[in-house]
Amino acid sequence: MKNNQQIKIINTSKRKITFFSLLVSIILVIIKISVAYFTNSIGVFSEALNNGLDVVTVIIIFIAIRISTRPADKDHKYGHGKYENFSALVEIIIIFLLSLFIIYKSIQRIIFKEFFLNLNRYVFLVLAISIFLNIVRVIFIGRAAKKYNSFALKAEFLNYTGDILC
């Protein structure tokens, strides 16, 4: 069994990884919203929305990690560790809802054809930077998820791996 000092170190590490992920998401949201505005690209806009929801899910996971470190009490005989698992479920639900919204907007554009794309090299530069930042983030989160066996970090890992592959 781990002592309190080891648990504090582990949880501090998880919070640092989560904070790093939050910063990456905020940077990507700002960049992608700017590019989406100037290009009218639903692809870049959906990426900005995805990163915006990443901000929300990372905050949820950060809070869940803080709560999960609380010791057992009379209402939680085995501790608060399940809050991390619950945050992973919330993240999956959010990603599913975002996917439905993007599908809906894409079908709308296909049917009504009322849009103009203004694609240029900045779009591709932003997407390349996004891929690079997500690769770095996936490496750090993947290592932490494996090291700490955290379902919340594993959900984040899957989310960002999916972002890179799609």
Each residue's pLDDT tens digit, 7-53: 677 778 888 898 999 999 999 899 889 888 888 877 788 888 888 88
Q: How many domains does the chain have?
A: 1
> What is the band of 78 on the pLDDT scale with cuts at 50, 70, 90?
low
Question: Mean pLDDT for the chain?
Answer: 81
> What is the band of 117 on the pLDDT scale with cuts at 50, 70, 90?
low
Instruction: Tokens for 36, please give them.
Output: 């989406």
Task: Give residues with Cβ within 8 angstroms of 36, minimum separation 6.
Answer: 44, 45, 47, 48
DSSP per-residue string spanning 72-112 = P-SS-TT-STHHHHHHHHHHHHHHHHHHHHHHHHHHHHHHH
| Range of weakest confidence among 34-38, 66-70, 98-102 | 66-70
Dist. CA 89–CA 86, nearest whole Å: 5
Dist. CA 68–CA 65, nearest whole Å: 5
User: Residues 118, 39: contact at Cβ < 8 Å?
Assistant: yes
Dist. CA 28–CA 19, nearest whole Å: 14
Residue with the bigger pLDDT between 63 and 120: it is: 63
Task: Give residues with Cβ within 8 angstroms of 3, minimum separation 6.
Answer: none
Structural domain including 139 reads: 4-165
Instruction: Tokens for 32, please give them.
Output: 């992608």
The domain that holds 151 is classified in CATH as 1.20.1510.10
Q: What is the pTM of this model?
A: 0.73
Dist. CA 48–CA 142, nearest whole Å: 23
Q: Classify residue 1 by its DSSP letter.
A: -
pLDDT for the residue numbered 112? 83
Res. 139: pLDDT tops 90? yes
Dist. CA 97–CA 103, nearest whole Å: 10
